[in-house]
Amino acid sequence: MSAGADWGAAAGQVERALQQVAPGRYDAYEALLQAIGEGQVWMLLWHGAPGTPEAQYGNMDVVGLGYAPCVTSAQELVASGWNRAHEVVDGRLIADSLYRDRYGLWLNPHARGGGVGIPWPDLRRIAGGLDRLPAGPLRLSEPAIDIPQFYALLGQNAHRTTAVRSLRRVWVQPALGAPYLAIGLDLYDSSAPAVQSVRVMMEQSITAVPDGLPVSTVALSDEYDPVALWMRANARPFFDRDAYGTAPAAPSYGYGYPPPRPAY
């Protein structure tokens, strides 16, 4: 099969998924994200030519959020009337590039109804794996489930795990899939031995979790993770080594939650 045929098949998959998207149809939206990750999009260049240093994508501002416009096929490119350069890019590649600058992707802005926007947190899911990151919009709240034995054991094990600065918690209800308890990990050190010690800590503690209760961990240093951002802003630590005055010396290069990067 030729490259052109490959692109055509990928474009058809994206456009079929796009036709099913409607308010409240989270399953259809999830299928669209999967199609984008497996396909290509036609990015509209505002300046420059494909592959040149001065190449720059177009940009849109929608309710204060930035998006890069694209079209989903060569036919849609013609229909859009775009008369500048463009480039065909793998969906996963463009998702990985845009979300890091907190830019989303807007599909077919020329279409009736204005097209469909994919905000940057969902581009992050495309880049990182739809099966690994929860489907939004997320409902986040303080956990209501009473599991003091788990928290007590986790706190004891965290106290012995010197890489751990603090622990937080949140109840996560994804748009699709089962709700779960997320434990936020704030670490002094992100080295491989430190991360392994935290993995052992969780394995030793998870035995106190009731059967059937899903538990996940989130790095609070992740400046793109919406669960981590929520915990940083809203959840008080249930384990805080600094409060005990027993914190180890922090690495000279520093570690922790970096300041958010400004949007363009």
- Model confidence pLDDT, tens digit, residues 49-65: 988 888 899 999 999 99
What's the pLDDT score for residue 259? Answer: 35
Is there a common fold for 3-128 and 139-244? no
Q: Which amino acid is at 258?
A: P
Residue 211, SS3 per DSSP: coil
List C-alpha distances in Å: 158 to 168, 169, 247, 248, 250: 12, 14, 12, 13, 17
pTM over 0.85, yes/no? no
Q: Is the pLDDT of residue 3 over 50?
A: no
Fold held by 3-128: Trna Endonuclease; Chain: A, domain 1 (3.40.1350)
Buried b (16+ CB within 10 A) or exposed e, 37-71: bebbbbbbbeeeeeeeeeeebbeeeeeeebbbbbb
Question: Domain residues of the chain, as ranges?
Answer: 3-128, 139-244
> 3.30.70, 3.10.20, 3.40.1350, 3.90.550: which CATH number matches 139-244?
3.30.70
Count of helices and strands (H, E) across the chain: 9, 12
Q: What is the pLDDT of residues 64-85, one digit of tens each?
A: 999 999 999 999 999 999 999 9
